[in-house]
């Protein structure tokens, strides 16, 4: 039984063209996730799923294995799980665990994956994902009126009901879950990570600039 990492990285980004191979620091955005995975001995192989030749070239340059993703699984509205499932169906051997690392979340605390994988095994769960606490006063707008959701008007921020968001830093799941077209199950373990890196999810140039700012700081 083995554990693999999969990094989905399709071409055709519209809001930030070429983002997966755009240099963040001195290396392509995609390479940050490849190198992060390669630091962990419990990962037996690192795969990049892509439909783009330039991305494929970068992945091979950083010693990742590449699975050519068909155009039918590369559309704007295609779910990530389809790319993961395609990788599992394309490789030989029995895979027990899949670690999903999104290229658009290039910055992760150094010990996070080791900690997460240890918890994943100890909890004997079928999936794990990272979350962060939100400190925002949230609400809905209905008929041009703001309706508070997680607080009452006048309530202090520090007294808010704890709410959490899926930050995308990493996911760990059993391959059987993915083959059943899921990544996060109802029983998934939510690992809380309250770190500045959890705020980085690159979709625009502004997101990219923020990631570059954090990367250049000496405090992380």
DSSP secondary structure string for all residues of 49-113:
EES-HHHHHHHHHTT-EEEEPPGGG-STT--HHHHHHHHHHHS-S-EEEEEE--TT-----TTHH
Per-residue model confidence (pLDDT) at position 1: 63
CATH number at residue 174: 3.90.550.10
For 24, other C-beta atoms within 10 Å of its C-beta total: 18
Residue at 157 is within a domain: no
Helix, strand, coil % over all residues of the chain, rounded to 5: 35, 25, 40
Asked if the structure places residue 156 within a domain, the reply is no
> Domain tally for the chain?
1
Name the residue range of residue 115's domain. 2-129+166-190+198-216
Indicate whether 12 belongs to any domain: yes
List, run by run, the mean pLDDT of 10-residue segments along the chain (220 residues).
93 89 96 98 97 97 96 79 96 96 97 98 97 92 93 80 94 98 96 96 97 80
pLDDT of residue 122: 97
Q: Model's pTM, two decimal places?
A: 0.93
Q: What is the pLDDT of residue 48?
A: 98
């Amino acid at each position: 039984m083995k554990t693999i990492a999969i990094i989905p990285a399709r071409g055709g980004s519209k809001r930030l063209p070429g983002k997966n191979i755009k240099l963040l620091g001195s290396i392509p955005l995609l390479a940050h996730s490849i190198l992060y995975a390669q630091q962990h001995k419990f990962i037996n192989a690192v795969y990049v799923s892509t439909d783009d030749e330039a991305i494929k070239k970068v992945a091979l340059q950083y010693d990742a294995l590449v699975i050519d993703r068909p155009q039918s699984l590369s559309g704007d509205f295609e779910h990530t799980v389809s790319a993961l499932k395609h990788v599992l169906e394309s490789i030989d051997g029995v895979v027990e665990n899949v670690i999903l690392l999104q290229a658009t979340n290039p910055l992760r605390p150094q010990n996070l994956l080791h900690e997460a994988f240890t918890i994943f095994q100890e909890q004997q769960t079928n999936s794990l994902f990272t979350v962060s606490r939100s400190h925002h006063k949230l609400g809905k707008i209905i008929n041009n009126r703001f309706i508070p959701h997680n607080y009452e008007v006048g309530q202090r921020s520090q007294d808010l009901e704890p709410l959490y968001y899926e930050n995308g830093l990493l996911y760990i799941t059993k391959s059987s879950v993915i083959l059943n077209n899921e990544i996060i199950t109802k029983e998934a373990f939510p690992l809380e990570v309250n770190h500045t890196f959890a705020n980085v999810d690159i979709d625009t140039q502004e997101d990219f600039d923020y990631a570059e700012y954090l990367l250049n700081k000496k405090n992380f």
